[in-house]
Amino acid sequence: MKWNKYTLTTTTEAEDLISSMMMDAGIEGIEIEDKIPLSEKDKSQMFVDILPEGPADDGVAKISFYLEPDQDNVEMLAAVQRGLDEIRSWGVDVGAATIEASQTEDKDWINNWKQYFHQFYVDDILIKPSWEELKDEDKDKLLIQINPGTAFGTGMHETTQLCIRQIRKYLKDGDRILDVGTGSGILSIAALKLGAGYALGTDLDPCAVTAVKENMEVNGLKEDQYDVILGNIIDDPKVQSEAGEEAYDIVTANILAEVLLPLTPVVIHQLKKGGIYITSGIIDDKETVVVEAVKAAGLEVLEVTHQGEWVSVTARKN
């Protein structure tokens, strides 16, 4: 299905007011592109493995919205223009306030990213997208199939590979693993494929629940081998209780250093005595602060490994 896409160029000062105005006008979903840097609070709530540095804020924002071709687009655009005029009358700088029209299709949003994800190896482990055929020469490899969707990682990033190698090194048959910020579930799947008995993932994104279930199924893993809890284990007692105290042999957290700092002193309570804590998502200039946080939580640092500019810290709860 084709959609009409409209992109409004405005200012970061006006983007919140314009977004609210558009929703009041009946536009159900919008996309905002700007260069406003994330606050420390924003970073502390992001359970992701990488957060690249963006360009400097130039004060410009682009707000896109989509309308079906059979909608009364003329009237909707007129309503948006009236809203812009009203916001401008309040003395707010709305910038150029130009609207550019284009067309797109559902499939463009859903499938275009797939062209960038192809099979790759982490040592002798083959990770491939679920839609690619398995080659004959790879049939003896330990296989992980992933359909990450548009919201989660594929495992290609150095931080995920660092975690997989550490899981493989420290995992014992039958171990229970807790994967904080599970995303596509790739670390849980790797652990189960390598012999773990049970994996629990936590995530803030409701899409993770579906993504993990689908990826577990495509890897032939059974529902009694894993579970996913939606919520923030850092500050949600319900999530902490559901996860269980001293219940895991390994805890993994492939997320930002800014999240690892408040997470570490909390999640050690989920870790068994003698259990292993594997972290990554750490850019090299944050290595020291994460190592110190791990030590401050009472853990023994076993090793610090590197790949590119990324760092993994592995520790033990004695």
Distances (CA, A) of 199 to 55, 60, 96, 151, 230: 38, 44, 51, 21, 14
Torsion angles phi and psi, residue 49, rounded to 5? -90, -20
Q: CB count, 10 Å around CB of 266?
A: 15
Torsion angles phi and psi, residue 266, rounded to 5? -90, -50
* Selection from 200, 152, 202 nearest residue 50 by Cα: 152
Question: E strands, the chain, where?
Answer: 2-11, 30-33, 60-67, 98-105, 120-122, 125-129, 142-146, 176-180, 198-203, 226-230, 248-254, 271-283, 300-307, 310-316
Q: Which residues of 64-99 are buried (b: 16+ CB within 10 A; e: fewer)?
A: bbbbeeeeeeeebbebbeebbeebeeeebebbebeb
**Quick one: CA torsion of 268, 270, 275, 276, rounded to 10 degrees?**
-60
Q: CB count, 10 Å around CB of 269?
A: 15
Going by the annotation, the residues of the binding site are 160, 181, 203, 254
Going by the annotation, the residues of the binding site for S-adenosyl-L-methionine are 160, 181, 203, 254
How many C-alpha atoms does 56 have within 13 Å on its Cβ side?
1
Contacts of 177 (CB under 8 A, 6+ apart): 167, 171, 187, 188, 191, 196, 198, 199, 200, 248, 249, 250, 251, 252
